[in-house]
Structure 1
């Protein structure tokens, strides 16, 4: 059984899926002084797209997605390209639970699974940071079994869970609670790795200590390791699922590391040949990721990435595993691993 924002569905009803998107989000906490004079208009406009290409965090307005109607319009393109489902991983620190998701699901026709969790420490709300492990575990379990706070729907997965480096005591509480809640409800976990460090094995170890096996963990941000194939192989060998997010390619001056889609595809194809578990996404989280503002859109995955994989010779059964088989396995609730 897969828990969507419109209620449970049988696993075999899940269609081609993006495993990481943001439909409504607010990460203005990441706003940073730009490297060049900003536009006079603080809103994202066509005239500011050149600036934002090199200063993604330089306009606070770029870091807010707050229009359900725009989300529905953008998802229409994804549906037309053949996408049938997505996982919205907008957690506390990234905007939090969105009560509008059921409406977006109904009007877009896409199956939406909501995540629950906490992003990086500096972005987390104070009330969340004050909770102990037991309180955090209860918060997450209630979201998975009853409803997300302020919403009428349940979460269907834990994540994204994002921790710093080195991990703080607060990070450890979040990670422990994520593992405990996932293990006791039978859901999978999405955990962010930091491409500046090799923190994936330690994250997997901590989740395993709470009863979550590696094959129930999705590691996000792995495209930061495209130049380190040995580490990608190490992560894949653990049994964890590697998630690739396509569409964003940072120019040299942006101050953030980013792979290109071509580099992501190269690494993904090599790991496919070696039997790695992998899933796909766009991971859109800014206005400039949307078609309305000149971005690739949520349809980038089915419209451009999948054809590129076909051009590389990836057979249909492997494409089906990336888009359908592995998402079904991950999102299908299992018997609780622990109680």
Structure 2
């Protein structure tokens, strides 16, 4: 495998990455805009209220802010202690990226961090972003990969997560077009936060392909809150895109953004993955947890970044997943996607 993997601490050889989570947030602020506008004090998370806060995702100010580096270091040390090697941190513009903070957390924890770049969904965008040209937005993402984000000099190693709302807005289409241009110029993989209807993932992949992007290096996030039938999963896999199951650890069927669906639990996710593998799509699947709230961290009673490695992998083995399959899902596919030209 030629090329390098660009981490926040600098380039590393692809072989340096072991088990890797492909969609996480370590330092971010994804507070819903309406909740942020209402203001007020941050909620104190206690044993008495942590379940309530975790269940009602959008009602408690402060839960969406991951801003303590000491907590992040401790959480990633647990990940490393459970066999984890690296994670992809997809906090992009609009949800408070902190490149220099990520570099410090990576150095202190010993976990490789690959940082994303780009822009989140429109409701989180800073003023003026919607007025920028496609070419200007693309140049910003290219610079993030090649020179670094702003004055930090910390380079992105992947483009995304590029946000698409439900419904998908014209501004978001222009940003995704820019991201495709950046993918073409840098060779970096592209991660997309898709709209929530089952028709949208395939629509997004078609958009990428029609603008000259590479579906085989395009990761469609949050499939486990979007696609629920084998036909829909197989259709997306047949498009050549990467299917990302990144809600591992969310064991509640309740989904506050769309009340007519039931989220799967981890066992159901594994059954969906098994069916995709049996159909020949092993190399088009990535796994993660998309942690972006305090109550999913071990510090506040959650499962933490170690969950997939510590708890899910043993279940995979008991259910007949081979070591080769696990290695492909957690090592070989992440390495392939994250490798870019030196």
Structure 2 gaps, min length 5: none
In the TM superposition, residue 101 of structure 1 has moved relative to its aligned partner by 0.8
Q: CA deviation at 1:74?
A: 0.5
Measure how far apart 1:45 and its partner are.
Answer: 2.5
The range that moved more, 8-17 or 75-84, is 8-17
Counterpart in 1 of 2:149? 148
Deviation (angstroms), 1:309: 1.0
Quote the offset at 1:275 in angstroms.
1.8
State the match for 1:248 in structure 2.
Answer: 250
- Distance in 1 (CA, whole Å) between partners of 2:100 and 2:158 is 16
Matching residue of 1:129: 130
Tell me how far 1:238 sits from its aligned partner.
1.0
**SS where residue 60 of structure 1 aligns?**
coil
How big is each residue's C-alpha offset from its partner over 1:169-197, in whole Å with a ceiling of 9 and x where there is no partner? 21111010000001100101001223334
- What is the Cα deviation at residue 29 of structure 1? 2.7
- The separation in 2 between residues aligned to 1:106 and 1:96, in whole angstroms, is 17
The equivalent residue for 1:330 is 337
Aligned to 1:158: 159
Within a 5 Å distance, the mapping from 1:167-246 to structure 2 comes to 167-225=168-226, 227-245=228-246, 246=248
Partner of 2:325: 318
Alpha-carbon distance in structure 1 between the residues aligned to 2:43 and 2:240: 45
1:60 paired residue number: 61
CA apart distance, 1:60: 1.2
Say which SS state the counterpart of residue 182 (structure 1) adopts.
Answer: helix
- Higher mean C-alpha displacement, 243-252 vs 109-118: 243-252
Deviates more, 1:315-324 or 1:24-33: 24-33
- Indicate how the Cα distance of structure 1 residues 57 and 167 shifts in structure 2: closer, same or farther if over 3 A, else same: closer
CA offsets 1:134-192 (integer angstroms, 9 cap, x no match): 11011111101101124231000001011124432211110100000011001010012
Q: 2:11 aligns with which of 3, 8, 12?
A: 8
Of 16, 29, 32, the residue aligned with 2:32 is 29
Q: Which secondary structure state, in structure 2, belongs to the residue aligned with residue 250 of structure 1?
A: coil
CA RMSD of superposed structures (Å): 2.0
TM-score normalized by the length of structure 2? 0.91
TM-score by length of 1: 0.92
In structure 1, what is the Cα distance between the partners aligned to 2:92 and 2:42?
Answer: 29
Alpha-carbon distance change, 73 to 174 in structure 1, aligned in 2, over 3 angstroms: same
For residues 226 and 206 of structure 1, the distance between their equivalents in structure 2, rounded to whole angstroms, comes to 18
Q: Cα–Cα, structure 1 residues 30 and 296, in superposed 2: closer, same or farther, change >3 Å?
A: farther
Q: Secondary structure at the match of 1:235?
A: helix
Extract unaligned runs of 5+ from structure 1. 34-39
CA positional deviation for 1:30: 4.8
Q: Deviations over 1:200-230 (max 9, x none)?
A: 1221122223322211111101012453111
Tell me the secondary structure at the aligned position of residue 295 of structure 1.
coil
